[in-house]
Amino acid sequence: MKTILQKVYVEENNSFACRIYRTPNFETNWHKHEEIEIIVITEGQGTVMIGDYVGEYKVGDVFFIAGNLPHWFRKNNSKMIGSAVVAQFKKEILGNDFLSNPEMITINNLLLKDEGYKFEKKIKPIIAEKLKALQDAKAFKRLELLLDILHNISITKQYKMLSQNFSSNSNHINPAIESIIDYSFKNYLEPITLKEVASIAKMSIPTFCRFFKKNIKKTYFDFLQELRINHACKLLKDINKPVIEICYESGYNSWSHFSKQFKAAKKMTPSAYKKQFTE
């Protein structure tokens, strides 16, 4: 199984793609494409990987993903419906001469970045509604809406940066990475050793550690920790579930270890995180 640079299909008489992807087409492997992508989640929830970022996604979330930035959206379970409205376009569709106009400076700067964003607060529903309208728009209205969306994104500060300067130079992503990530998503709540994942990659442990960090820009256990903390965050939103129970349901067998890792990742204790939703 090999993931290549994904080809984005653009319909005739259109300069860019915007369509809804729904199960099973919503599910993708770890992939990238040269097109810039703006996506709003319309059904389902789960875990998202964008470059070296691992976090959760849910209905209403809106993401901006730079061209050639690898990403993967993974549902919480196979029976769940997943769908999203996705706009994909090349920077070149606006033309360098047009982008060089002074009125376009913020949009041009946005399109030159190699970053991933998740939008927050008031700007999130604004971009989401415009993306949904873009899906059904025709002719000139499509470009008008796309420019409007890009303008909103280029001037807002209501976002969280997810990934920056993540390089993936090859057009082919090693199939071992897909196998390791797939295994990790299925088993991260169970004890996992380096020996296990190294054997999946058919490598020695030292070679695997170097290989994983080179491709994902973090150690394997840092990646595993992010999956577990992300799962814990979902459980902590349930006000009826005790925090100590969530610790063990998130793949940890030590409260002190869980609490230390959670605080390092979220800058607050698990109890303080849970209290936000209780209140």
Which residue in 225, 190, 193 sits closest to 209, CA to CA?
193
Q: Among 153, 106, 108, which residue's Cα sits nearest to residue 126? A: 153
Q: Tell me how far apart the alpha carbons of residues 17 and 37 are, in angstroms, rounded to a whole number.
A: 10
The pLDDT score that the predictor gives to residue 277 is 79
Averaged over 156-168, what is the pLDDT? Answer: 84
pLDDT of residue 129: 96
pLDDT band at 4; cut points 50, 70, 90: very low
- Reported pTM: 0.79
- Residue 171's pLDDT is 52
pLDDT of residue 3: 38
Peptide bond into 24 cis (omega under 30): yes
Look at residue 116 in the predicted model and tell me its pLDDT. Answer: 93
Q: Which of 105-109, 206-210, 275-279 has the lowest mean pLDDT?
A: 275-279
All domains of the chain, ordered by start, with CATH?
3-163 (2.60.120.280), 174-278 (1.10.10.60)
96: left (phi over 0), alpha (psi -120 to 50) or beta: alpha
Mean pLDDT in residue range 51-66: 92
Q: How confident is the model at residue 173 (pLDDT cuts 50, 70, 90)?
A: low
